[in-house]
A and B are shown apart, each in its own frame.
Chain A
Amino acid sequence: MKINAVLIVGAIFVILVVVVFVVIAGQTPFPAFKYATQTSQYVNTTSNIGPEDSQFMWTNYDLTLIAQAFVMFAAAAAALAMLRTDDKEDSD
């Protein structure tokens, strides 16, 4: 790959962001779940989380899964609208 000015500036930018972030995260460590008010109600063990995770998702968030199915439907309709060609198409 070509070493040009953009590549150097971009690499410096990324490294700078990471360094600044390490400094910030070192000063104030992330208070993970410090403000959570409902713990140990739905938290799984680390033994075999696959079936329990999916059971959580299907009992509590099944409507969100149906909504995701509609997003797939919309993506299929969008791809149809953009790429399908017919012989009898009129340009507009």
Chain B
Amino acid sequence: MFTLPLDILLIFTAVSPVVGWAAPKLYRSKIAGAFSAIALSATGIALYSLYQDVSTNGAIYVTGNSLIAGYLKVDMLSIFMVSIFLGLGLAATIYSMEYVENSARSPIYYTLLLTMISGMVGIVFSGDLFTLFVFWELMSVSTYALVAFFREKWESVEASLKYLILGAAGSATALLGISLLYGLAGTLSFEGLATAFTATTNPWLYIASIFIFVGFGVKAAIVPLHTWLPDAHSSAPSTISALLSGIVIGTGIFVIARAFFSAFTSIQQQWLPIIAVLSFLTMFLGNITALLQTDLKRMLAYSSIAQVGYMLVGIAVGTQTGLTGTFLQFFNHALMKGAAFLCAGAIIYRLGARELKDMVGVGRKMPITVVVFSISLLALIGLPPFNGFISELTLVTSTFQTNLAWLGFGLILSSVISAGYYLRIILTMIQIPVSEKIEKVKETPLLMLIPIVALAVLIVFFGIYPDPLVKFAQHAVTAFPSLGGAS
């Protein structure tokens, strides 16, 4: 079968509806939630033994019966990505045990959540574009249903419809690009594509690269293709917003990095400037539009678009340092934005309102939640004792090493602009409350508080002691063999 972590996760996913059906009705949602948490923990334990194996033996290949069919390729980068998927997934599952408790359909929620995470694990484990596309669709189908989970709200359904149309069109465009690559090379595995195109610049290669970039860029929310993101991330349930913003966006960046640095390395000089321009646009459009928002979750959704712009800076630079910065930024952003969305969800859950002006002074009543929220927002700006600083510093350093210094200055300027609305959120919450609706608000329930505090502890820990994380990311980026530039 597949490698052990993916096996365990898929088996638990297949069994989870049965658990949800067979549990006694009183504890049904708690038992289903506990089962999902056990599934993710078991996968994490299996992942650790796989990590030992890969770090001593190099990449693991799970192939079919002949030399050309390579379906799974597990290397250090895959393990890096899966560790954050499982970590944030576990935090979201524990949070959901309180958040979706009232819904009678909660067992199917946990099934879809496990399916989404298995799809993502499959994407980073896959060794050729065929398997990657199948797992990409697995992830996408479960996210379409999860955004529309609270189906009595009109905004969730409308956001899900818009997301579905754009996402499925993106997948079909990517499929057309994959077919052109197949026609040119006869194989779809990443090594096969890298060896087939080593020194050729055929015009059809440009056309295939455009289709693949547009197709996978829809899910990664790169600027002209980002219009689904503010609606979907602000109208989804808060745990799903945290997972979508944190990790699903990152799989789009991962696939673009994998495809572009293995199949399209021969035409690298042409597409690197284009990605640099798009990353500049994405950063500024995300941050400037977020300044104009009044809804809290919509503001966080636009800031996710800006952070994707930061991740693209590393890809546009194209060196080892740049890609280390990209994947570090992805890891840190998953922690920071996950914590921010979970805190925002806790505040909205207790308060019932979503506009920022209704939340004046809520920090006096929910102190732990607002402290964690402030930590995650300060980390998102990129201030020094938190982990956002390390990854943004790596990205800016990598742009100064090549001739893309304007992009580094753009990143710094964009972080300064983003401080405008992050600080506004913090200041709103720590003022003195003026309305009596705020007076009746209690602290977040315990099951929702534990994952929030755990994420905050990780943000502070990786900010003060970033060494193991940076070494892990540098080891992970050696999976791209054709990069230049020292780290």
Give the B-binding residues of A (Cβ under 8 A).
24, 28, 30-39, 41-42, 59-64, 66-68, 70-71, 73-75, 77-82, 84, 86, 88-92
Contact = CB atoms under 8 A, between A and B. Distances in A.
A81 B145 contact: yes
B105 A70 contact: no
B480 interface: no
Contact of A71 (B141, B144, B184, B203): B141
B385 to A, nearest CB: 38
Nearest to B148: A82
A78 B14 contact: no
Nearest to B204: A30
Contacts of B65: 59-60
Contacts of B141: 71, 74-75, 78
Given A63-B2, A64-B134, A74-B142, A36 B14 contact: no
B104 A88 contact: yes
The 3 closest A-B pairs by CB, nearest first: A36-B186, A78-B145, A60-B69
Given A34-B184, A37-B196, A41-B68, A78 B137 contact: no
Interface string B40-84: 000000000000000000000010111111011000000000000
Given A60-B65, A74-B141, A92-B150, A36 B203 contact: no
B64 A62 contact: yes
B66 to A, nearest CB: 6
Interface residues of B, number: 57
A35 B151 contact: no
A42 B112 contact: no
B108 A81 contact: yes
Contacts of A86: 104-105
Dominant secondary structure at the B interface: helix
Contact of B102 (A28, A68, A82, A90): A90
Given A88-B104, A92-B103, A60 B66 contact: yes
Nearest to A83: B151
B203 A28 contact: yes
Contacts of B192: 37-38
Nearest to B109: A81
Contacts of A34: 184
A67 B145 contact: no
B113 to A, nearest CB: 10
A68 B203 contact: no
A70 B152 contact: no
A92 to B, nearest CB: 5
B186 A33 contact: yes
A62 B71 CA distance: 10
B112 A81 contact: yes
Interface in B228-282: none
Contacts of B200: 35
Contact of B115 (A24, A38, A42, A73): A73
Nearest to B160: A82
Contacts of B185: 33, 35-36
A60 B111 CA distance: 29
A33 B150 CA distance: 48
A38 B369 CA distance: 58
Contacts of A74: 112, 115, 119, 138, 141-142
Contacts of B196: 35-37
A20 to B, nearest CB: 12
Contacts of B64: 59-63
B130 interface: yes
